[in-house]
């Protein structure tokens, strides 16, 4: 392990010797290996690429050229419109509902966009909003929509809840009623259904140093998966009785194989597994290779066993917890300071490895989540072996910050 890490550090340092940190890199061999493992686990079902977990148009386009990936799962409608107009994909599903009237008007007014982009709905209010915007246009094209299903797990008679608080649509009856409502509106076209099981796909079942928590998570995930396989199939059948569905999207990086095995699911939505950030180290079902890293310069040495690096406070979203901090990765044997964490401008790094570091050396860290790292950097340096083979902009680098 240490020898491998040393080789890796030498390789990354050699490839980027001409760059001044802070900067971010993508190790292309690791990215390709992760992509191949994800498609292997998807077992023939296409993976719709979750763009929030990549946040670089150039990288999204590279991944879409790989076998097994098809279409984009975007996170906002302005983003989807931008990607469609740039020619990144002609098959984009926005995974979260929009209340952006301007973007909806832009979508409905353009035949090409309206054919390429599907927006998420989970209530008649979403349909009303779309219709109202379309009614204000001289020439509106039908807006493609997909129904978002609540996949959350309810245990102990509803006392225990696991899952993201998103859609209110839970039962086959509720889904069929919303589908019938959508199908009856001339300005709407029901195209698909999405059922993302966050409590399985996005929660690692092997949290480090927490054996009791690990057992509780595994229990919840077993129960939730068993409940969902039946309910998801029933919901899909009920909606298909009302309207043809082009796709049923489910899953995420943490559940690719299990979700792909469900007959009712036609495609997987995933992206984080490509970069393999630290939160995805905590799964038993797969092992990825860290593909996204950032380098910080060592700028001072406060004393024995500690160096201080510039910046680094790139905290991941979600519940504020240690797991959301970036993690020092190379050289091996560095850790964050418990009191200071990862700092706004300076990050102390503790450990025996610090004593071998000099001012101007670089340290390598991993983000806890995937695409969020890109909100801190304008560029990604793409590394092949010990060379930077391309430097591409992130969304931020293209002046695009969608949320």
Ligand X SMILES: Cc1ncc(COP(=O)(O)O)c(C=O)c1O
What are the phi and psi torsion angles at 108 (to 5°)? Answer: -70, -25
* 363 vs 252: CA distance, rounded Å: 31
Cβ 316 to ligand X shortest distance, Å: 12
Q: Which of 26, 77, 95, 242 binds ligand X (CB under 6 A)?
A: 95
Decide if 367 contacts 317 (C-beta within 8 A): no
Tell me whether residue 16 or residue 323 sits nearer to ligand X (CB atom). 323
Tell me whether residue 158 or residue 403 sits nearer to ligand X (CB atom). 403
Number of C-beta neighbours around residue 137 at 10 A: 14
For position 202 contacting ligand X by CB under 6 A, the verdict is yes
* 352 vs 141: CA distance, rounded Å: 63
Q: Which of 152, 252, 288, 348 binds ligand X (CB under 6 A)?
A: 252
Element (H, E) at 144: strand 143-148
Three-class SS state of 367: coil
* 2 vs 209: CA distance, rounded Å: 21
Cis peptide leading into 90, omega within 30 of 0? no
Alpha helices in 46-100 (DSSP H): 57-64, 77-86
DSSP-derived secondary structure for 370-386 = SGGGGGG-SEEEEEETT
Cβ 122 to ligand X shortest distance, Å: 12
Question: 233 is written with which tokens?
Answer: 């199939």
* 143 vs 232: CA distance, rounded Å: 25
Candidates 28-36, 107-115, 183-191, 263-271; binding stretch for ligand X (CB under 6 A) = 263-271
Q: Which of 16, 253, 323, 394 binds ligand X (CB under 6 A)?
A: 253
Cβ 19 to ligand X shortest distance, Å: 27
Q: Which of 16, 39, 51, 53 binds ligand X (CB under 6 A)?
A: 53
Tell me whether residue 174 or residue 253 sits nearer to ligand X (CB atom). 253
Q: Which of 68, 152, 269, 277 binds ligand X (CB under 6 A)?
A: 269
For position 295 contacting ligand X by CB under 6 A, the verdict is no
Q: Which of 23, 153, 196, 247 binds ligand X (CB under 6 A)?
A: 196
For position 89 contacting ligand X by CB under 6 A, the verdict is no
Residues 15-34, interacting with ligand X (CB under 6 A)? none
* 86 vs 78: CA distance, rounded Å: 12
Q: Which of 271, 277, 331, 393 binds ligand X (CB under 6 A)?
A: 271
Question: 262 is written with which tokens?
Answer: 């469900």
Site string for ligand X, 304-323 (x = CB under 6 A): --------------------
**Closest residue by beta carbon to ligand X:** 252
Where do contacts with ligand X occur on this chain (CB under 6 A)? 50, 53, 73, 95, 196, 201-202, 252-253, 269-273, 370
């Amino acid at each position: 392990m240490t020898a491998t890490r040393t080789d890796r550090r030498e390789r990354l340092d050699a490839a980027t010797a001409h760059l001044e940190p802070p900067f971010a890199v993508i190790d292309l061999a690791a990215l390709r290996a992760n992509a191949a493992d994800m498609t292997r686990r998807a077992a023939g079902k296409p993976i719709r690429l979750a763009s929030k977990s990549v946040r670089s148009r150039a990288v999204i386009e590279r991944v879409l050229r790989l076998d097994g990936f098809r279409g984009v799962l975007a996170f906002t409608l302005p983003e989807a419109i931008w990607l469609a107009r740039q020619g990144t994909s002609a098959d984009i599903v926005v995974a979260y509902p929009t209340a952006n009237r301007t973007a909806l008007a832009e979508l409905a007014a353009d035949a090409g966009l309206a054919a390429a982009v599907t927006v998420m709905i989970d209530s008649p209010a979403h349909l009303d909003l779309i219709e109202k915007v379309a009614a204000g246009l001289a020439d509106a094209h039908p807006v493609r929509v997909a129904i978002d299903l609540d996949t959350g797990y309810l245990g102990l008679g509803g006392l225990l809840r696991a899952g993201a608080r998103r859609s209110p649509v839970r039962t086959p009856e509720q889904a069929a009623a919303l589908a019938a409502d959508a199908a009856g509106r001339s300005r709407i076209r029901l195209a698909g259904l999405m059922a993302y099981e966050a409590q399985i796909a996005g929660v690692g079942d092997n949290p480090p140093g927490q054996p009791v928590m690990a057992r509780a998570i595994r229990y919840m995930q077993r129960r939730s998966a068993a409940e969902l396989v039946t309910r998801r199939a029933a919901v899909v059948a009920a909606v298909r009785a009302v309207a043809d569905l082009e796709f049923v999207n489910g899953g995420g990086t943490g559940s690719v194989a299990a979700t792909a095995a469900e007959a009712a699911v036609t495609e997987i939505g995933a992206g984080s597994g490509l970069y393999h950030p630290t939160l995805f180290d905590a799964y038993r079902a797969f092992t990825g290779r860290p593909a996204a890293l950032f380098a910080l310069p060592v700028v001072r040495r406060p004393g024995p066993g500690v160096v201080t690096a510039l910046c680094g406070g790139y905290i991941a979203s979600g519940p504020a917890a240690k797991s959301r901090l970036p993690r020092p990765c190379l050289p091996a044997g560095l850790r964050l300071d418990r009191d200071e964490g990862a700092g706004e401008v300076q990050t102390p790094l503790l450990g025996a490895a610090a004593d071998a570091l000099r001012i101007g050396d670089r340290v390598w860290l991993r983000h806890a989540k995937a695409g969020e790292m890109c909100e801190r950097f304008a560029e990604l340096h793409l590394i092949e072996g010990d060379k930077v083979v391309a430097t591409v902009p992130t969304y931020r680098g293209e002046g695009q910050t969608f949320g």
